[in-house]
Amino acid sequence: MEFNLSDHQRELVEMARAFTKEWISPNAAKYDRNGEFPKDICCEAFKLGIMNSHVPVEYGGQASATLDHCMIMEELATGCSGIATAIDGNGLSQYPVILAGNDDQKRRFLAPMTEELMFSAYAVTEPEAGSDVARLKTTALKVGNDYVLNGVKWWITNGSVASWYFVLARADDKPTGFIVPADSAGIVRGPKENNLGQHASNTVRVTLEDVKVSEANRLGDEGDGFRIAMKTFDHTRPGVASGANGITKAALNIALSYARRRRTFDKKLISNQGISFKLAEMVTKLDAARHLALKAAWLFDIGKDNTREAAEAKWFAGDVAMEAATECAQVLGGYGYTNEMPAEKLMRDAKIYQIYEGATEIQKMIIVSKLMRMREIH
Ligand SMILES: Cc1cc2nc3c(=O)[nH]c(=O)nc-3n(C[C@H](O)[C@H](O)[C@H](O)COP(=O)(O)OP(=O)(O)OC[C@H]3O[C@@H](n4cnc5c(N)ncnc54)[C@H](O)[C@@H]3O)c2cc1C
């Protein structure tokens, strides 16, 4: 067992940390307040090669390891998890293509994204199908060599900046994956949602009204879509967990710095056990959440089943981030409640990690379903 970072990983972390310091942290409050999409920062991230890096080499990417991606995500999210989500959002929609796309699809949809700054989106959730994806209602009617798609997709990250969507729809009643160009006739993008946090991330409704999609854009066979959409999470959940860990790290650093400076009752705040124990718990839970995320990523990279570990990492890191952000605000007292200090932003941003890419309860259901197939844990 080896816990040391390789030279390459150390360089990646240092590069991501420097990028965060230069581009993300100084702009975090601005994008949080104006809610604009941080295209300029994505452009810098693209130039540095930290967007789309998991795309296979033969399609212009770097085929980078999930483990490396997790380390980068933690650094970016320490500066602002909303901007980090904007930078990382492509991965969720690209992975179904990496997983199930044929050569032609990868050339048409992945390769261009490594040549210029472009976005894509994963359009699966619907008004009546969130946790329970199998309830999806969007239809794909086969007409000649095309499909005609109709339905409503909700809360789609990158929805109004995407050049194409991964869409899950029912073809002959079977959940099926499609790559749908965003300029197809009949795509209607809603306004940006007014979310609690991660204001830099773009979330919109996407409606499909008689959208014609060529059979050449179907991923795999009819009926493969549910497996593709779910398998994607084995790859993305460790990275999402690492984003949550970035929030925990930011919360810990803010609380630690404040508790060292602030004096009450003639002593520093940190000298009070009631406060210092909060910091001890934060750092211990951060260590545990990191190990879960990195182990889930490592398992994926070596080709082992990581569905349980990815779910463990996602729920645990999400809960730890929410708790750390809340405790950070508590340590800061009044400053924890104003937007003069970033603690309140961390609280708003952290909440989404308990909801998207499968809510906490759903991760626990996945873990239990794996447990039920085991006699005992070794
Ligand atoms: C900001 C944001 C960005 C998003 N981005 C995307 C995106 O890019 N693409 C996309 O397709 N979707 C996206 N989503 C959708 C997101 O994945 C769903 O909101 C999430 O999966 C939960 O689904 P739901 O909202 O329908 O909640 P529901 O499924 O209605 O669940 C409501 C609550 O009940 C719990 N629950 C449900 N069933 C059970 C059960 N059997 N036992 C115990 N508890 C249960 C859930 O955990 C949740 O807490 C995004 C959502 C948000 C808010």
| Average pLDDT over every residue of 147-155 | 98
Domain ranges within the chain, ordered by starting residue: 7-115, 120-221, 226-371
Q: Which of 28, 76, 27, 67 has its CA nearest to residue 48?
A: 76
In degrees, to the nearest 5, what angle opens at C-alpha 91 toward C-alphas 116 and 316?
150
User: Is 215 tagged catalytic?
Assistant: no
CATH number of the structural domain 226-371: 1.20.140.10
How far, in Å, from the CA of 356 to the mean position of ligand 1? 6
Query: Which stretch of DSSP H or E encloses residue 285?
Result: helix 273-301
Judge: domain 120-221, CATH 2.40.110.10. Answer: yes
Distances (CA, A) of 143 to 22, 137, 146, 210, 364: 51, 18, 5, 11, 41
Residue from 180, 362, 363 whose mutation best tests the ligand 1 pocket (most atoms within 8 A of CB)? 362
Q: Which of 164, 171, 168, 165 has its CA nearest to residue 136?
A: 168
Tens-digit pLDDT profile for residues 75-101: 999 999 999 999 999 999 999 999 999
How far, in Å, from the CA of 127 to the mean position of ligand 1? 10
The distance of Cα 170 from the centroid of its chain, to the nearest Å, equals 25
- Strand 174-181, strand 146-157: pairing: unpaired
Q: What is the pLDDT of residue 127?
A: 96
Q: What is the signed CA dihedral for 343, 347, 349, 354, rounded to 10 degrees? A: 150
Of the residues 74, 75, 312, 357, which is catalytic?
Answer: 357
Residues paired with residue 267 on neighbouring β-strands, in sequence order: 264
Instruction: Report which ligand 1 atom has the smallest distance to the Cα of 158.
Output: 8
| Average pLDDT over every residue of 212-239 | 97
Q: Compute φ and ψ for 162, nearest 5 degrees.
A: -70, 145
Closest residue CA from atom 49 of ligand 1: 359
pTM passes above 0.85: yes
Amino acid 28 reads A
Tens-digit pLDDT profile for residues 88-143: 999 999 999 999 999 999 999 999 999 999 999 999 999 999 999 999 999 999 99
- Are the beta carbons of 285 and 112 closer than 8 angstroms? no
Query: Percent of the chain beyond pLDDT 90?
Result: 97
Closest residue CA from atom 35 of ligand 1: 361
**What residues line ligand 1, using a CB cutoff of 6 Å?**
121-125, 130-132, 155-157, 195, 203, 352, 355-359, 361-362
Tens-digit pLDDT profile for residues 230-243: 999 999 999 999 99
Other beta carbons within 10 angstroms of residue 49's beta carbon come to 13
Enumerate residues 6+ apart whose C-beta is below 8 A from 274: none
Residue from 93, 126, 152, 155 whose mutation best tests the ligand 1 pocket (most atoms within 8 A of CB)? 155
Distances (CA, A) of 108 to 104, 115, 180: 6, 12, 12
Cα distance between the two ends of the chain:
17
Residue from 95, 125, 208 whose mutation best tests the ligand 1 pocket (most atoms within 8 A of CB)? 125
Distances (CA, A) of 377 to 289, 372, 373: 20, 11, 11
- Are the beta carbons of 150 and 213 closer than 8 angstroms? no
pLDDT band at 37 (very low <50, low <70, confident <90, very high): very high
The CATH class of the 7-115 domain is mainly alpha
